[in-house]
Structure 1
Amino acid sequence: MSVAFTKEESAETASETLLPDRPISSHPNLVTAAGLKALEAQLKAAQEAYEISQKIDDVNERRRQGALPLRDARYFAERVRTAQVVPEPTTFDTVCFGSTVTFSRDDGRIQKYRIVGEDEADPKKGMISFVSPIARLLMGKSVGEVIEASGQDIEVVAIS
């Protein structure tokens, strides 16, 4: 085997195994109690996947297979470390972190979202991040209040 081939393979392996860290938001890491549990579960899954990868005999394949779970483990460890659990809302007078807000749009659509932490957000499941544009507009509003977003009036219909 030529030395040039070995160096090329090493460079390729290095680029596959030295993944950049996942970006960490500059916003406070607010989470619900369920969000913290989800972060902890994701951390555990990443750690387990990394441990499994370390049992691979071939060193290059071990590095390739371990790169992603190692990066994820670093990310989730930091998110768990910095998590600030926000208690469930006790009143439903105004929209706040943890609230589920129902609102209507000018075009007749009714939408319902729970305002949660960034890592918990999943709009398809009805959960949006507290730093999303619509959540920022809704925070602090009461039932009946109207806000303008993207050229539409949005009315808060219910808070739970």
Structure 2
Amino acid sequence: MSRAFVREVEGGEAYEDLPDRPISPHANLVTPTGLARMDEEIETLERRLADARASGDKAETARLSRDLRYWSHRRSTAEVVPPPSDNSQVRFGSRVTFERSDGRTQTYHIVGEDEADPSKGSISYASPLAQALMGKQVGDVIAVAHGEAEITGID
């Protein structure tokens, strides 16, 4: 293709059209802690966006604007789910401990998609592991990657 018909990007225009972050098709369930974190994130983004605009940083303004749109939308659609009052079975908000067939013991807190951080012990309720755990009780066995796991505790 001839370069004669391709518009070159000048001074930050590429940043002005950043695509929006994808929104999950799942219900936006959150814990009370997750809702508070959303509010903190929005407040931080608003402050940083004002600073970026004041300094004339177009790239940072575009990035922060996109992130603020995402979090504002997620906040407006958030459905707060209180912690479970009954630990007889796994529910949204449960902290589940299970022992894998290879002997490893793991504990995960089942939370909203935006709250999930498996490296810190929380998984999204929409994840395959959480879906396998939902509704199960202590002593139940579930299939997990490369084996099985027995639920040993629900808090």
Does residue 65 of the first structure (1) align with residue 44 of the second (2)? no
> Residue 91 of structure 1 aligns with which residue?
86
Q: Is the 8 A contact 2:15 2:63 kept in 1?
A: no
User: Helix, strand or coil: the match of 2:136?
Assistant: coil
Question: 1:65-123: CA deviations, max 9, x gaps?
Answer: 20111001000000000000001100100000000000000000000000000000011
Which residue type is aligned with residue 74 of structure 2?
A: R
User: Helix, strand or coil: the match of 1:147?
Assistant: strand
Structure 2 residue ranges without an equivalent (≥5): none
Q: Distance in 1 between matches of 2:9 and 2:142?
A: 57
Q: Distance in 2 between matches of 1:34 and 1:159?
A: 19
Q: Distance in 2 between matches of 1:159 and 1:77?
A: 33
Percent of residue pairs identical: 45
CA RMSD of aligned residues (A): 1.5
Structure 1 stretches of 4+ with a deviation exceeding 6 A read: none
Q: Distance in 1 between matches of 2:146 and 2:71?
A: 37
> Residue 130 of structure 1 aligns with which residue?
125
The number of aligned residues is 150
- The structural deviation recorded for 1:9 is 4.6
- The structural deviation recorded for 1:150 is 2.3
> Residue 24 of structure 1 aligns with which residue?
23
TM-score, length-scaled by structure 1: 0.89
> Residue 109 of structure 1 aligns with which residue?
104
Structure 1 residue ranges without an equivalent (≥5): none
> Residue 8 of structure 2 aligns with which residue?
8
Question: 1:21-73: CA deviations, max 9, x gaps?
Answer: 000000000000000010111111111111101112xxxx5322201110010
Report the structure, 1 or 2, having the larger helix content: 1
User: Helix, strand or coil: the match of 2:86?
Assistant: coil
